Structure 1
Amino acid sequence: MDTIEHEGSVTRRSFVKGASVATAALAASGVVLDGMFEKTEPAYADEQNQETSDEKIVQSHCSCNCASRCPLWFHVKDDEIQWAQSEQEAFDDDPNGKFRACLRGRSVRRWINDPDRLKYPMKRVGKRGEGKFERISWEEAIDTIATKLKETYNNYGPEAVFINLGSGVYSLTGRPFPRLLALTGGYLGAYGTYSAAQSTAAAPYMWGANSASTYAAIQDSDLVVMFGDAASDMEMGCTGESKHGFSYQHRTNTKAKYIHIDPRYSDTNCNSNDEWLPIRPGTDAALAAAIAHVLISENLVDKTFLDTYCIGYDEDTMPESAKGQNKSYKDYIMGTGYDKVEKTPEWAAPITLIPAERIKKLAHEMAEAKAPFITQYLGVQRHSNGEMAYLSICMLNLLLGVVGKKGCTTGCTTGAYSFSIPWITATNPCKSQISVFSWTDAIDHGEKMTAKHDGVKGTDQLSTGIKFFVEYAGNCITNQHSDSNRTHDLLQDESKCEFILVYETLMTDSAKYADILLPDIMRAEQKGIINDGYSGDVATCIYANPATTGEKFERRSSFDVCADIADKFGIKDKFLDGKDQEGWTKQIYEGARAKDPRLPSYEEGYEKGVFHYRNPKGYTPALESFIKDPEANKLKTPSGKIEIYSEALQKVIDTWEFDDERDVLTPVPTYVPGADSYLDCTDEYPFTLCGFHYKARTHSSFGNIEVIKQAAPQEVWINTMDAEKLNIENGETVSVFNDHGEVHIQAKVTGRVIPGTIMISQGGWRNADMNGDRIDKGGCINTLCSWHPSPLAKGNPQHSNVAGVRKIS
């Protein structure tokens, strides 16, 4: 952590019930925004008028899994949110420093006020997935949960209990189930994430840990090369990377040229408007290898840097265990090792669909730049070959010797400057873990899953399958997990997973699979603290008060419900540890503050409402200390250096078991086509199918908001030439299909996607009659996604798929 030398910039917020110039102009033209943006009403004269008004203003936030997590101020009347206001004042004397929420955040009140919100605890009366429930009392719900949990522990042990991924809640006490289950007996843990499993698994072998400069480094760069990086689409809120990172830096602080390498011409491309290099999905590593060939063959690499800081670039720096075997990275690139194929631009062109001459030019542009900022986002690694692709892009920064320099980065996913505040937890006595993506396997045949074959951690082999399943604040059972139809069929067999608890705000597709379904209170309806996500170089902490009375109908907070379940085990006092939910929030926060002097006290934070802290250095180049003194600041790799050749990874390759010949790992970064790549296309399935994050939703959150769906409809992007061959017109409903399922979805015919590839934004709400034709009419890409996990991380390969498209007659 950087030494803190001065106070952060803090502003006591005043509120003006006014409108931006653009909003006012729209209103004057007769456009009714209906609470989507600030209203054009008279401003409050002063704070006293606010207090005497029948409308109160409540400090709150947007708390979903977005990089921004913006502050919001809810205007509340009669215990109901009327509209949401974004930040009105700049901070730190920065005229561009207003933290403006996007349309999703400003629509939180529509989610909170949704008439279809769950109101009562319910139990399933139909088959799983049918969505048939009857109302029950909280007493019956809690008794049932506790009884099923006790039975699971008695019959199978803690490895049979699992908490699935949920990204709909971010706050200090927003996830109490891990603490509850750790205290009742333990649970099967999970490592990795759906978003970043491959990068998280791969980076330690090369770097010791993920390390990258923040976007603010762009201000000192003269060339920005982005592999699959679409910040303006993914993090629209202005506390995040799109404002105090990519877009902000581009507009104000740099004259750098931008080159976007992506199958899709995203809104981020539109913002910078420099150059788009369309690439076939899953072939980024081939492009990186061809660029490396140009750099090596033309003697454009920084050999001194490679010899000083790296292991395994060429024979000179190979570890003793691999010397004399032509296993170096240079051997791979030049065709003297591994597959004996020289990785020329001419080799890469038919793979990537980028012309050889453009690849050569790109290599020269990188070499000639004084400070190239070469980066990637998580879409590159979210493939069946994601581990190797991730490390391959990192190689470009190493070959150029720019790591640790101003305006440069490592090639890893962009870094962050933020507050580190933990969540409520307890020590889990069960040490067994599976990949977060492997839970369907653990339900189906958990007792057969091993460390060497399935990546199980903490034990050589699981003793049982998952029998008790918890899904809290997520839609990950069928909507966000690959091959939705396979999951449906698996969960229909109640002899496998015996009990499913879902705690939600709405009847999502995943909620339909619950045996007990509980109605949640949203974070904006509770008092709590949320810290920033990965928001560039401005760290933010928001101290929120309840915007409404959350316990309308029979909704209850998950913390209170977990306390009641703990009571059935006779451990309520142990669960609470003398504190209610706010008491836990304060203890966690003050514990983090003791380690981080940037943060104000709990009481001071609530007085301020929002606390912003700008990185006093502006940004810190990744691995700057290591580059200055590699002996004093060794990395957490076995050698203490950057390991281009990894002996640890070679050990994995030698000892793990792989069933599919397409599951390939190498000890140096290589191009591996992987499973379900373009090589698997057929006459029936001629397209590669890839997903992307979308401005309409944060994963599936906000998927219920009608105005957002109208503004940004769910579509399949198809190139104009491909659509013409299939006689498909823009806006027409088409069928997208493969071996996993079928989706009916509106076509977006556009030149903004590379030919031969179709793209569907992830998170669309699945809507299929599973007792009928099973055709999903909600546009959920996971209906079509491959379940085949990546080889090292056993991670989510959501962007590696093949599919067909046909016109619906």
Structure 2
Amino acid sequence: MTNQNILQRAKGSGLSRRGFLAAATASMGSLALAGCSPAAQENTLAETGEAPEILEGGEWVPLPCAPSCGGRCVTRGYLVDGVIVRQKTDDFIEDTAENPQYRCCPRGRGSRQLYMGADRLRYPMKRKHWQPGGKDFHGELRGIDEWERISWDEALDLIASELKRIKENYGPEAFFCGISGDGRGGGMGTGGGVTRLLNAFGGCVYVWGTQSYGGMPIVGNTMQGEPWFFGATDTQDEFSMAKAKRVICFGMGNVTWNNWMYVKHAGVEIIVVDPICSPAAQALADRWIPVRPGTDGALLLGMAYHMIENNLHDQEFLDTYVSGFDADHMPEGSDPKDNFKDYVLGTYDGQPKTPAWASEICGVPEADIMWLAEQATSVSPLVMRSTLGPARTDNGQNYAQIFLAVGWMTGNVGIPGGEVSMSHPAMMGSKAMAQSGQNGIVVPKNPICEDPAESAALPFGGYDPSKFYGLPYGHAWDAIINGKVIDFVHGERDIDIRCIWKVGTFAPLNQISGGMKGIEAFRKVEFVVSSDLLMSSDCLYSDIVLPCASLWEAEGGSAAQAIGDGLLIYYGNKVMDPIYEAKDDLWVEAELAKRLGLDPKEVVNVEWKQACFNRVAGTQVMKEDYSDYEPLVSITQDDIDELGVEGQPQDGKIPYKEFVKTGYYRCERSQNDPFVFTPRSGFRADPVGNPLGTPSGKLEIYCPSLVDYMKLYGTEPLVEATPKYRPAKEGYEDTFANWDAKEKGEYPFQMVSTHHMRSMHSFYNNVKWICEAFANNLFLNVLDAQKLGVSQDETVLISSQHGKMLRRVNVTPRIMPGVVLMGEGNHFDVDEEGIDRGGNANALAGGHLIAAGHQPWNTVMVKIEKWDGDPLQPDCVKPARIYDFE
């Protein structure tokens, strides 16, 4: 069957719109955090509205789900004659609290509309008015120019010639290529954030810093003396967390995992502090306390004051395990006046951090601040957890310092059910029951730029002043536009970027803050090339666009990966041939290598089929007696010969073919297994015999090593050794023209941008059914809407210092007054007046250099005006970007 016929047939075989919306609606309920309900799943499968023969002669096959969302849940498709005509999720086991099903969300259920949609890129394309050579590239037309279909040979020849020209004239530092990696599918295609080709060609410039972690990593490393990664050393598993009597969670995203439901069903009280009441908070929280973005630190200091004044804190714990809380426990050689307690009380700066002081800043009533302090100290064990969102602010490092200090005041460290952690809302840290194998792919080393993704050098404490790390997040677009970059302790240096490369890498216009500056940077350089599944924002502003094969089209499938604390190992089959002329990004790199005079095997050393086999063969699971790991799959010589790969026979838990066919292996946990995990229990039991990796061996509230490390960045450190509140740039205080008089300025609202149920970064927001179920409109509080005179679904103009956007509004009580929310990920659609009609939150964000290179997504000031032009169409009826040239 031809690709065109497959697409035509797919149009009539989709999940019915009504069935999809039923499943999506179910996901918003209290049970939805584990996925859609079984009843919704049955409705989805039963309600076809089509000829019954479409379901004849097929089979259920495992599918790879989105690799970047953090879920990677079980997704299965019903394959009939090369077409996935149905999807379903985890029905392998009975759904229990201890071992719940891994059900996929509406995005996973909408994968067919993404992979088989009419807006898939079909052919290589060239921008009409772009010409090679660096002179007639007409960058001002990027984003609005017409497109021409070209052949693969022409596309590859043009790309290779431009790479040669730019390297010869400007050197390898002229290539900017986001991030690197060795995997596959860093978006939804088969690239995986790779820069193998450019590395082998002489190198390129990366971006450094953190996209998601905010100001947490360096603070977590230095104050706790342990490697911080998503809070893995702080967080306990659900069986230990269920022993808590209360959870206080600062921030809670729209998506969470099944283990949170186990904690909820165990009767643990959950309090959520967040500007928005997300679907997860709706389902989990016993109480929601709204707080202004970027002011959580002030709230915490108000809590600390109430604790100290009423002797609610755990002084014995602080005396034994913590350095720097009060003057009597400061490190030798430090000024005793710099202790945290006296800062909170205002002993030396004259400003007591009272609940009244905090309330004026954070917007939480004084009584609620005192109540929250009492909730944090009246029970034990207690979990105090911060998710990533509150630290995605200009003052995120200050917040992280304060959060740890106040959390430690409760004494809930190293005891079952006790936890003070900075992590993802879904993260539960347990010993892995399974370990994924290595794929065998070797990425050539970049000779000119250190790879932060590979070495984890910068956010995790390994800065080397002899190395060049590239462009910092928040400053990357300025560096490209102005030709200057801050190079840590070396100060400002020249940088001359001539090419932006997005073949198999992440989506820079969506993932690097300051989107309107990003468009300016894209238009400035001589050459931009992108590969993708569809006409994303980056592709729209490129010169050559390459159609990328999806994960469903990957030769060899999607390699085994252990997820969910190593409890689920999944594998996705190749289920169809690439649509139209789409090609694997690995193939693209190998073909370009030939044209550049490189050995393709040095660029792509392992074919993906072999890489998938390597990973499956190397995956291990825990033995039944928990004594050690053993191979997951048994492999015979016949398996190896049939696959046409290299390998050795081995004995494992299940046959290789069985695992590939089911695509699923489950490791079961229980309350009494030896992997129930309590962070820092050894330190709590014997702090002298089991010291932490800090200079004092203790948890350090007063942490001069943090200041010393921050100085290496060559910018303002933004932190002091003692945790202190610092108003955020473009934070709440900056919304006032006159703070003392409480006179609001030009941009009176604060905007936050979050992951949204309808998209996984820049993917899925083009799927119309998901767009209808989860309209990514501007969340606006009811009281603010009344003052502005706008109603539900009306169009408003949102403006910041950095850009403008039109959006329909969602009037709701689930967001704090004075705060608005936009889900991230929509594609840019900027008109001739510079207004983004696509709803990309990054159009309003303003990237700026923060010392540790994190991105201030949640400190953005905006104004909102009722739009008097034509109303904006809902995204679900907006015409798709289709390029068929037929």
Verify: 1:517 aligned to 2:554, yes or no. Answer: no
- Which position in structure 1 is the counterpart of 2:245? 222
| Conserved? CA contact 1:35–1:84, under 8 Å | no
Verify: 1:147 aligned to 2:161, yes or no. Answer: yes
Q: Over residues 633-665 of structure 1, what are the superposed CA-to-partner deviations in whole Å (9 max), with x where a residue is unaligned?
A: 443434443222222222246565547xxx832
- Which position in structure 2 is the counterpart of 1:334? 345
Using the alignment, how far apart are the partners of 1:330 and 1:33 within structure 2?
Answer: 53
The CA deviation at 1:215 is 5.7
| Higher alpha-carbon deviation: 114-123 or 441-450 | 441-450
- SS of corresponding position for 1:554: coil
The CA deviation at 1:773 is 1.4
Using the alignment, how far apart are the partners of 1:373 and 1:605 within structure 2?
Answer: 42
Paired residues for 1:288-303 under 5 Å? 288-303=300-315
Output the amino acid matched with 2:248. Answer: V
The percent of aligned pairs where both chains have the same amino acid is 28
Using the alignment, how far apart are the partners of 2:809 and 2:111 within structure 1?
Answer: 28
Using the alignment, how far apart are the partners of 1:507 and 1:407 within structure 2?
Answer: 47
The CA deviation at 1:594 is 10
- Which position in structure 2 is the counterpart of 1:476? 507
The CA deviation at 1:157 is 3.5
Using the alignment, how far apart are the partners of 1:586 and 1:159 within structure 2?
Answer: 36
Indicate how the Cα distance of structure 1 residues 764 and 353 shifts in structure 2: closer, same or farther if over 3 A, else same.
same
Using the alignment, how far apart are the partners of 2:544 and 2:285 within structure 1?
Answer: 50
Indicate how the Cα distance of structure 1 residues 41 and 726 shifts in structure 2: closer, same or farther if over 3 A, else same.
closer
Using the alignment, how far apart are the partners of 1:483 and 1:508 within structure 2?
Answer: 17
| Conserved? CA contact 1:201–1:792, under 8 Å | no
| Conserved? CA contact 2:121–2:548, under 8 Å | yes
Paired residues for 1:86-97 under 5 Å? 86-90=89-93, 97=100
The CA deviation at 1:560 is 1.4
- Among 628, 631, 639, the residue aligned to 2:685: 628
| Conserved? CA contact 1:65–1:169, under 8 Å | yes
Q: Over residues 90-146 of structure 1, what are the superposed CA-to-partner deviations in whole Å (9 max), with x where a residue is unaligned?
A: 179768622211111011011111111111112222422225322222222223333
Output the amino acid matched with 2:376. Answer: M
Indicate how the Cα distance of structure 1 residues 296 and 94 shifts in structure 2: closer, same or farther if over 3 A, else same.
closer
- Which position in structure 2 is the counterpart of 1:597? 629
Structure 1 segments (4+ residues) deviating >6 Å: 32-36, 91-95, 170-173
- Which position in structure 2 is the counterpart of 1:450? 487
- Which position in structure 2 is the counterpart of 1:555? 582
Q: Over residues 512-545 of structure 1, what are the superposed CA-to-partner deviations in whole Å (9 max), with x where a residue is unaligned?
A: 111221111111222334566863x453221221
Output the amino acid matched with 1:607. Answer: E
Verify: 1:181 aligned to 2:198, yes or no. Answer: yes
Q: Over residues 131-170 of structure 1, what are the superposed CA-to-partner deviations in whole Å (9 max), with x where a residue is unaligned?
A: 5322222222223333333334333443333322599637
Paired residues for 1:447-596 under 5 Å? 447-452=484-489, 464-472=495-503, 476-493=507-524, 497-526=525-554, 527-530=556-559, 535=564, 537=565, 539-550=567-578, 552-568=579-595, 569-577=597-605, 579-588=606-615, 590=617, 593=620
Output the amino acid matched with 2:684. Answer: I
The CA deviation at 1:787 is 1.6
Verify: 1:686 aligned to 2:689, yes or no. Answer: no
Using the alignment, how far apart are the partners of 1:548 and 1:342 within structure 2?
Answer: 65
- SS of corresponding position for 1:320: coil
- SS of corresponding position for 1:288: helix
- Among 159, 172, 182, the residue aligned to 1:158: 172
Using the alignment, how far apart are the partners of 2:316 and 2:354 within structure 1?
Answer: 24
Output the amino acid matched with 1:441. Answer: D
Q: Over residues 207-266 of structure 1, what are the superposed CA-to-partner deviations in whole Å (9 max), with x where a residue is unaligned?
A: 232232146143111111111113xx224xxxxx2x2x223431x2x2122211111122
Indicate how the Cα distance of structure 1 residues 380 and 69 shifts in structure 2: closer, same or farther if over 3 A, else same.
same
Indicate how the Cα distance of structure 1 residues 461 and 802 shifts in structure 2: closer, same or farther if over 3 A, else same.
closer
Q: Over residues 395-440 of structure 1, what are the superposed CA-to-partner deviations in whole Å (9 max), with x where a residue is unaligned?
A: 2331111112111222211444454666744233333214344321
- Among 293, 296, 299, the residue aligned to 1:287: 299
Using the alignment, how far apart are the partners of 2:859 and 2:213 within structure 1?
Answer: 15
| Higher alpha-carbon deviation: 604-613 or 562-571 | 604-613
Verify: 1:641 aligned to 2:698, yes or no. Answer: yes
Indicate how the Cα distance of structure 1 residues 592 and 468 shifts in structure 2: closer, same or farther if over 3 A, else same.
farther
Using the alignment, how far apart are the partners of 1:712 and 1:594 within structure 2?
Answer: 38
Paired residues in the alignment total: 746
Indicate how the Cα distance of structure 1 residues 576 and 708 shifts in structure 2: closer, same or farther if over 3 A, else same.
closer
Verify: 1:404 aligned to 2:407, yes or no. Answer: no
| Conserved? CA contact 1:676–1:786, under 8 Å | no
- Which position in structure 2 is the counterpart of 1:356? 366
Indicate how the Cα distance of structure 1 residues 100 and 175 shifts in structure 2: closer, same or farther if over 3 A, else same.
same
Q: Which runs of 5+ in 2 are unaligned?
A: 1-18, 27-38, 130-140, 451-467, 623-627, 636-654, 736-743, 869-886
| Higher alpha-carbon deviation: 346-355 or 737-746 | 737-746
Indicate how the Cα distance of structure 1 residues 92 and 759 shifts in structure 2: closer, same or farther if over 3 A, else same.
closer
Using the alignment, how far apart are the partners of 1:652 and 1:94 within structure 2?
Answer: 44
- Which position in structure 1 is the counterpart of 2:463? none
Indicate how the Cα distance of structure 1 residues 190 and 489 shifts in structure 2: closer, same or farther if over 3 A, else same.
closer
- Which position in structure 2 is the counterpart of 1:673? 727
Using the alignment, how far apart are the partners of 2:75 and 2:543 within structure 1?
Answer: 35
Using the alignment, how far apart are the partners of 2:562 and 2:218 within structure 1?
Answer: 20
Q: Which runs of 5+ in 1 are unaligned?
A: 1-18, 27-31, 43-48, 236-240, 453-458
TM-score, normalization: structure 1? Answer: 0.85
| Conserved? CA contact 2:128–2:147, under 8 Å | yes
Q: Over residues 357-389 of structure 1, what are the superposed CA-to-partner deviations in whole Å (9 max), with x where a residue is unaligned?
A: 221111111111111111111111111111111
Using the alignment, how far apart are the partners of 1:560 and 1:333 within structure 2?
Answer: 59
Indicate how the Cα distance of structure 1 residues 289 and 273 shifts in structure 2: closer, same or farther if over 3 A, else same.
closer
Indicate how the Cα distance of structure 1 residues 533 and 308 shifts in structure 2: closer, same or farther if over 3 A, else same.
farther
- SS of corresponding position for 2:242: helix
Using the alignment, how far apart are the partners of 2:534 and 2:308 within structure 1?
Answer: 55
Using the alignment, how far apart are the partners of 1:632 and 1:473 within structure 2?
Answer: 48
Indicate how the Cα distance of structure 1 residues 95 and 310 shifts in structure 2: closer, same or farther if over 3 A, else same.
closer
